[in-house]
Chain A
Amino acid sequence: MGFATSQSSMNHQSTQSSATLNGTIAIRFTLNGREVEIAVDPTERLLDTLRYRLNLPGSKEGCGEGECGACTVTIDDLPANSCLVPTFQVRGCNVRTIESIPTSSLQPMLETGATQCGACTPGVVVTANWIKEHSSVLASHTLRALMAGNLCRCTGYDGIIDGLEKWIGNPKGGRP
């Protein structure tokens, strides 16, 4: 289940932090293609930095403990639950959020009913987009397995899986 929400890519960062006098850490990272510089408290979660300090509230908090995937972003091109990532750990990383995905590309997901209430949706779309960009993973995993890190309480998942099949143009991906 953790496949789509792996966050191992940035663990090496954790030992390289440089705390400043007032207890915050100054870091730089790439966010949706742009360089960002910010001072963060060592306990600050990436999800909160994005939502409350960098004006990117598209990523949602559904659980705050790595279960629901509503907060999914990619870090160095791997999906991660941003609620579990201390912001200082993304120093030097490439972070992409839902806001980096062009709305115009999402029509297939709209047509199949991939969203209802929308609270899980940004996380779903980030994971889906990652699968779309790495479709070789479909050789070893079904769409249903790959999407299992994103809980949705509304759709029953069919709208999401059907939309994803349409989006990535792989009509058999979800039906092994």
Chain B
Amino acid sequence: MHRLEGLSKLSGAERYLDDEPLEGALKGCLWGMTVRSPISRGKIRRIAYGAGFDWSKFVVVEPGDIPGPNETYLIENDQPVLAPGYVRHMHEAVALVAHEDRNLLRRAAASIRVEVDADPPALDFRVAPRADQIQRGSDNLIKKLQIKKGDVHAAFANAYKIVEGEYETGAQEHVYIENNAMSAWIEDGPNGDVVVVRGSMQCPYYVLNALKHALGRDETRVRVIQAPTGGGFGGKEDYPSTIALHCALLTLKAKRPVKIIYDRSEDMAATTKRHPSLVRHKTAVDKSGKLLAQQIEVILDGGAYVTLSPVVLSRGIIHAAGPYTCENVLIEGKAVLTNSVPYGAFRGFGAPQTIFACERHMDRIAHALGLDPIEVRRINLLKDGQTTSTQQTISGGTDRHALLNETLRVSAYDKHKRESEAFNKTHPYLRRGIGIATVLHGAGFTGNGEVYLNSKVDVGARPDGKIEVLAASTEMGQGTNTVFTRIAADAAGYDTADVVVGVPDTFRVPNSGPTVASRTVMVVGKLVERAIDDLAAQLGQNGKPLRGPSLKKAITDWHTTNPGKELKGRATYTPPPNVKFDDKNYVGDAYATFAWGACVAHVEVDLRTAAVRVLDFTAMQDIGKVINPVLAKGQVQGGVVQAIGWALSEEFKFKDGGMLNNTLTNYIIPTSDDVPPIRVVFHENPYPFGGGGAKGVGELPMDGPAPAILNAVAHATGADARAIPLTPEHLLPLL
């Protein structure tokens, strides 16, 4: 089955928000823009609207116009919708302006000066803040978490060797090619007027909750609709709540529709990014490389507000010990507040950062012991029946050793290794090397997260016999609609042409949870199956559910006898049996299941320029069951290339906490000519509690490439690089 909306996208017919004519609900639409802070911390003295513009002709929104609490609803609600007299980061939203003439609006917005009395910002998350930089508690700590298993200190006392290392990763910008875009208008409803927001987003119900909270309305008076979304990668997980609120506030004040479309520089400067990290490892090993104790410290830069940092940290520390077994583990994590733009969700959600450190560290352990990095992994890889750092007993039957062997085979690891070593003896300035990473990724929300989410899916049975999947899970390029169609058709015994996936619209679809955490196919896909089972059971006779043509006939018959009525199948999440997590002590089943993977990078380093080129790349993934081979492969290839960018070229330059290189001219993502074909191999081992037997696929590919590449650079040159991005400037001094 091909991507449903594929031809529409290929031919340019797909209409994203900025492509739509200002007709219908958008008739008479104003354009909205955001007035932002020029510095990273301080008290707003005044907002000076430029002379030369008749401001009575503009709609202007300041914090006083917010009907409810000036808070963006999320974990702690500490982020204001508009800075209430005090700014915490550069480019923070301070006020909003709108006008129907987009060019005039741009000039007028550029004339606005926000005058701020500066306070000292905290800009380096790695160092303890000075007293005058404290803005939260006594130490700017957003969250502290710990995982404890066994006794690391006793193990250190008896170790054959202790290996230590410090690893750093930089921020990363999502660079979805469609920038943030949102529209809002007002409709009549049975309980009064309704604020409707439609735009580019991953999580309609996050947006809904944010609107309810700050506008002081219930869900009958706010409505959120997803527009076709040109990429997300986590970047449209929580940020759309902010831009939706901005749009809604302008529309409420103007009493006219409003559209806000960011341009690239605003999107890069003002929206969330991947958390920068510092991870320290101290590991006790025996002679053979067996891990006796892992002590790991994880520090994340949270940025100016709490936003999602506590849960990013949580996922980060749970993945920090890697896919290995070790009896003594102590992981301490903290997320720290700074005066940078708030860091947020990005594919992998904290795991790529800690896995980078872990996998680079495994190679450094091998080096310290004079062992082969493959052997050190083999001896420590989790086997079913062994436990993770949270004492989760691994089961499911995936043979991680076989998976590693298969990865080595298809990547021609030994051959590339031999040839590289021979090549390096003769070439005057090129050095080749090979590197590996073995990884895991917990699929779905962490711990009891899925239970708290309590996700729901409906399937509507239409009078024409077709089935409509009603879920809040969004299509943003990853293939939700195509895969839901396949899963629903298989469950109902239908032709895919008789399945429709409804547009995520909070007036029509139940909350199936956010479209994040590699959970859509696995968790929500399973709910789609169960909702169809429910429908089939409702219509079945003598407890015998209907399928295929008999189901279709039963649906049309039902509508004949119940004209104008609605027929739906419903499902609500229930956790797989025996999954238990103690989220106070971080003990137990952190995830219902893990996806497993391994990858191999073959690189070439030019000693003259210190440029690293990836020559060949293999990614092996166990994702349960592949529902759509082309789409699944595309997820892996796209994730790997995003990770190659993170590893080698995507470097942030900051000035006073703001992004200095907020353009695609100097924030460098990979082009087609910068990367090799990505070889993808799937290992299938159906997961009984996932939709169609699938586990999560979207995030795992982000975890392994960066450490595999740096391991390959070390093999090629001996350079002991421990920080990314490893740009030529950073590699040169190590050569």
Contact = CB atoms under 8 A, between A and B. Distances in A.
B663 A65 contact: yes
Contacts of A70: 177
A60 B11 contact: no
B9 A118 contact: yes
Nearest to A122: B12
A168 B225 CA distance: 39
A113 B3 contact: yes
B545 interface: no
A106 B5 CA distance: 13
Nearest to A116: B477
Given A153-B669, A154-B177, 17 more contacts: A64-B264, A101-B12, A103-B11, A106-B7, A111-B2, A116-B478, A116-B634, A116-B638, A117-B178, A117-B229, A118-B228, A122-B12, A125-B11, A151-B177, A153-B638, A157-B637, A158-B633
B672 A117 contact: no
Contacts of B682: none
Contacts of B186: none
23 contacts: A1-B673, A51-B19, A60-B177, A61-B179, A61-B264, A62-B664, A63-B264, A103-B10, A103-B11, A110-B3, A116-B479, A117-B9, A117-B176, A118-B5, A119-B177, A120-B177, A147-B671, A147-B673, A152-B177, A155-B634, A155-B638, A158-B677, A161-B677
Contacts of A115: 3, 6, 9-10
Contacts of A101: 11-12
Given A103-B7, A125-B12, A152-B177, A117 B477 contact: yes
A171 to B, nearest CB: 13
B308 to A, nearest CB: 21
Contacts of A174: 677
B6 A110 contact: yes
Contacts of A111: 2, 630
A158 B11 contact: no
A159 B639 CA distance: 13
Size bin of chain B's contact surface: 35 or more
B669 A118 contact: no
Across the A-B interface, give the 10 residue pairs with the lowest CB-CB distance, nearest first. Answer: A58-B12, A117-B477, A119-B230, A118-B9, A156-B637, A98-B12, A57-B19, A119-B177, A156-B641, A116-B477
A16 interface: no
Contacts of B634: 113, 116, 154-156, 158-159
Interface in B1-52: 2-3, 5-16, 18-21
Nearest to A57: B19
Contacts, number: 187
Max chain B C-beta neighbours (<10 A), residue from A101, A103, A155 = A155
A159 B637 CA distance: 9
A107 B177 CA distance: 23
A78 interface: no
B459 interface: no
Interface of B: 2-3, 5-16, 18-21, 174-179, 228-233, 263-264, 476-479, 630-631, 633-634, 636-642, 663-665, 669, 671-675, 677-678
Interface residues of A, number: 58
Max chain B C-beta neighbours (<10 A), residue from A55, A112, A154, A159 = A154
Given A70-B177, A110-B6, A148-B672, A156 B11 contact: no
Interface of A: 1, 51, 55, 57-65, 67-68, 70, 97-99, 101, 103, 106-107, 109-122, 125, 142-145, 147-161, 174-175
B12 A117 contact: no
A119 B176 CA distance: 8
B664 A67 contact: yes
A59 to B, nearest CB: 7
A151 B669 contact: yes
Contacts of A148: 671-674
A160 B672 contact: yes
B7 A159 contact: no
A122 B20 CA distance: 16
Nearest to A59: B12
Contact of A67 (B11, B232, B663): B663
Contacts of B10: 103, 106, 109-110, 114-115, 118, 121, 125
B418 to A, nearest CB: 23
Contact of B16 (A55, A60, A113, A154): A60
B477 A62 contact: no
Contacts of B479: 116
Given A65-B663, A119-B230, A153 B642 contact: yes
Contact of A98 (B2, B11, B664): B11
Nearest to B477: A117
Contact of B177 (A62, A97, A110, A149): A62
A154 B231 contact: yes
A47 to B, nearest CB: 11
Contacts of B642: 153, 156
Contacts of A107: 7
A62 B264 CA distance: 7
Contact of A118 (B232, B477, B675): B477
